[in-house]
Amino acid sequence: MDNTPAPRDTPRSGTRLDSYVDRYAARTAGMTASEIRALFAVASRPEVVSLAGGMPNISGLPLDVVGNAIGDLIAANGPVALQYGSGQGDPRLREQICEVMRLEGIDAHPDDVVVTVGSQQAVDLVTRIFCDPGDVVLCEAPSYVGALGVFKSFQCDVVHIEMDADGLVPEALEQAITTVRAAGKTIKFLYTIPNFHNPAGITLAPERRPQVLEICRRHDILVLEDNPYGLLGFDGDPKRALRADEAEGVIYLGSFSKTFSPGMRVGWALAPHAVREKLVLAQESATLCPPSFSQMAVSAYLTTHDWQGQIKQMREMYRERRDAMMDALRDYMPASCAWNEPDGGFFVWVTLPPGIDAKAMLPRAVTARVAYVPGTAFFADGFGSGSMRLSFCYPTPERIREGVRRLAGVLEAEMELRETFGAGAPTRGLEGRSGYDAPSSDLS
C-alpha cells in the first residue's frame, strides 16, 4: 500500500513546515483536505472524461440576455448594486425567491428568507447557530459531501440513516433517533435532500414525506431540507417540498446555482421566524451582508428572462444526458454492478461488485482518462468503498458514453486482477483510508 501523504497537507517545499500546527482551533482538525483532490487536478485535463464534478452545464444560458440585464442594472441601479446591502438579503430578490418556492407548494413570506452565499453557506450558518461539539446531525446514507464537511468542521457527530429506492427509510430514522438518544446524545437536526439526491440520485417517495415529517415532529427534531435540484426533475411537476406541509419544524434551503448560475453564489434559507433572526445575525458576523451585486443580477435575470422556460430547456438537456448514461451503463458495465435510474438532478449511484474498492481504483481510472467520486466521500464513517457517484450533468452525451466505456474497462481489469490474485491483489491506490473528503466546487 502506498503511503504517500495527501498532497494538500504537504508543505510547498521541504523547508516550509507549519509553524502554526499547535495553534489551530480544535475544529480545524475536522477540516482536512481530500486525498482525491490531487487526482481531480489531473482529472480536469481535457483528455479525461470527468464523471466526478457537480458543475451544472450552463452553456445554454443566454449570455446576451444576462449581459444586458446586468448592464441595465448598473446603469439604473449601480449605486445600490455596488453598495452594502441588508444582512438578510435584497428585499426584491427575497420576494422572487418566494415565487420560486411557490412552485413546490411553499407559501412563505419574504421576511422569513435569508439570502446566503450559495446554499453551502446556508448549511454553514444553520450548523453554526445550532451545533455544539458532539451534537448529532442525522443524514442520509450517503449524504452530500459539502454538508458533511460543514458538520465535521463544527465537530458534530454524523449519524447516517439508511435509504432505499424510495429514499430515507422512516423506520430507520425512528430507530436512529431512539438509539442516539438512548446513548445520551443530542440530535440537532435531520439533514435531508428529498429530491434527486446528491449523491444517491434518489427521490423521497410522496407517501414517505408525511411519515418523515410526523416522526420528526413527534420527536421534536428540526428538519434541514436541502433542495438545490428540486426544479430539475425529468418527469411531471416539481415535487411538493417538506416545508410546504410543515412551516415551524423545517428550515428549507434553496439555490440558484443549478437553475441559473453557481458563479453568482446566491442561495437562501427559509426558516421559522426566531431561527431566521439568528441566521441574519450569523450572516452579519460571517460577511456583513451577501453581495448586493450578484443578488441584484439574479433578480434582474429573473425579472427580464423566461427563467421557467430556461429551466425547462435545462431539464431536457439533463434528461438526454441521464439517458446517455443509462444506455452506456447498460451497454458496458459488468453484470455484477448495480445502479439506479434517477428521475432528475445530476447523479447516479453505482454499486460495484463485491471486493472492488472505488477509491483504490480511482488512480487507475484517471490513468484510463475517466474520473468519478468514490462512495467514501459521502459517508462520515468510512463506509461506501464499494460504490461511486457518477455525474451526468457536465459532459456531452457522447463523452458520457465514452467515459462509461473507459470506466467499464478499468473495472473489468480490476475484477480480473482480483480473480487472478484473490482479495490480496496488489493495488497502487489510496484504499484503506476512511472518512469523507473536504468539499470543493468540483464535488458540489
Site for a second copy in 360-379 (CB under 8 A): none
Strands (E), 249-302: 250-255, 266-270
318 in contact with a second copy (CB under 8 A): no
Closest CB to a second copy among 106 and 264?
264
| CB 347 to a second copy: min, Å | 16
Return the C-alpha cell found at 123. 448549511
Helix pair angle (292-304, 63-81), 10° resolution: 130
- State which of residues 3, 47, 59, 420 lies at the interface with a second copy (CB under 8 A): 59
Q: Which is nearer to a second copy, 165 or 281 (CB)?
A: 281
Task: Determine, following the binding rule CB under 8 A, whether residue 107 of this chain makes contact with a second copy.
Answer: no
| Range list of H helices, 288-342 | 292-304, 307-332
List 142, 149, 194, 375, residue binding a second copy (CB under 8 A): 149
User: Any contact of residue 290 with a second copy (CB under 8 A)?
Assistant: yes
User: Which of 202, 204, 270, 297 contacts a second copy by CB under 8 A?
Assistant: 297
Instruction: Note whether 31 binds a second copy by CB under 8 A.
Output: yes
- Residues in Cβ contact with 130 at an 8 Å cutoff, skipping those fewer than 6 apart: 188, 189, 222
User: Using CA atoms, how far apart are residues 168 and 194, in angstroms rounded to an integer?
Assistant: 8
Residue 260 vs 332, nearer CB to a second copy: 260
Residue 410 contacts residue 418 (beta carbons within 8 Å) = no
Is 227 near a second copy (CB under 8 A)?
no
Residue closer to a second copy by CB (options 56, 374) is 56
Based on the shown chain and the rule CB under 8 A, indicate whether residue 247 belongs to the binding site for a second copy.
no
**Cβ 185 to a second copy, closest distance in Å?**
14
Task: Give yes or no for a cis peptide into 353 (omega within 30° of 0).
Answer: no
CA distances, 206 to each of 2, 17, 305 (Å) = 46, 54, 32
- State the pairing for strand pair 347-351/338-339: antiparallel
Q: What's the min distance (Å) between Cβ of 23 and a second copy?
A: 6
Provide the minimum distance between the beta carbon of 25 and a second copy in the complex, in angstroms, as a whole number: 5
Using CA atoms of 284, 261, 247, 291 in order, give the dihedral in degrees to the nearest 10. Answer: 20
- C-alpha grid cell, residue 434: 476512511
Of 86 and 211, nearer to a second copy (C-beta) is: 86
Cα separation, 402 vs 379, in Å, equals 28
**Quick one: which of 2, 9, 306, 398 contacts a second copy (CB under 8 A)?**
9
419 in contact with a second copy (CB under 8 A): no
HEC string of 84-118 equals CCCCCCCHHHHHHHHHHHHCCCCCCCHHHEEEEEH
User: CB of residue 220 vs a second copy: minimum separation in angstroms?
Assistant: 9
According to CB under 8 A, which one of 71, 206, 334, 382 is a site residue for a second copy?
A: 71
Nearer to a second copy, 47 or 64 (CB): 64
Report the site for a second copy in 74-103 (rule: CB under 8 A): 74-75, 78-87
Which member of 222, 371, 373, 410 binds a second copy (CB under 8 A)?
A: 222
d(CA 382, CA 437) in angstroms, rounded, equals 10
Distance CA(274)–CA(278), nearest Å, equals 7
Instruction: State the Cα–Cα distance between residues 136 and 194, nearest whole angstrom.
Output: 20
Q: Which is nearer to a second copy, 298 or 368 (CB)?
A: 298
d(CA 264, CA 294): 5
Stretch that binds a second copy, among 233-241, 261-269, 335-343, 376-384 (CB under 8 A): 261-269
Residue type, position 351, single letter: T
Residue 438 engages a second copy in binding (rule: CB under 8 A):
yes
164 membership: H or E segment, kind and range? strand 157-164
The residues in 376-415 that bind a second copy, with binding defined as CB under 8 A, are: none
Q: Does 48 bind a second copy (CB under 8 A)?
A: no
Does 45 contact a second copy by CB under 8 A? no
Contact segment (CB under 8 A) with a second copy among 157-165, 205-213, 277-285, 309-317 equals: 277-285
- To the nearest whole angstrom, how small is the minimum distance from the Cβ of residue 295 to a second copy? 9
Instruction: Please report, as residue ranges, which positions from 158 to 217 form the binding site for a second copy (by CB under 8 A).
Output: 188
β pairing state of 136-141 and 113-117: unpaired
Residue 152 or residue 359: which is nearer to a second copy going by CB?
152
Indicate whether 5 belongs to the interface with a second copy (CB under 8 A).
no
Rounded to whole angstroms, how far apart are CA atoms 57 and 392?
10
Residues in the chain: 444
- What is the rounded CA–CA span in Å between residue 342 and residue 73? 38
Q: Which of 284, 331, 416, 419 binds a second copy (CB under 8 A)?
A: 284
Pair type for strands 373-374 and 338-339? unpaired
Task: Return the number of the residue (106 or 289) whose C-beta is nearest a second copy.
Answer: 289
Question: Partners of 161 in the beta sheet?
Answer: 140
Instruction: Using the rule CB under 8 A, give the single segment among 236-244, 279-287, 376-384, 397-405 that binds a second copy.
Output: 279-287
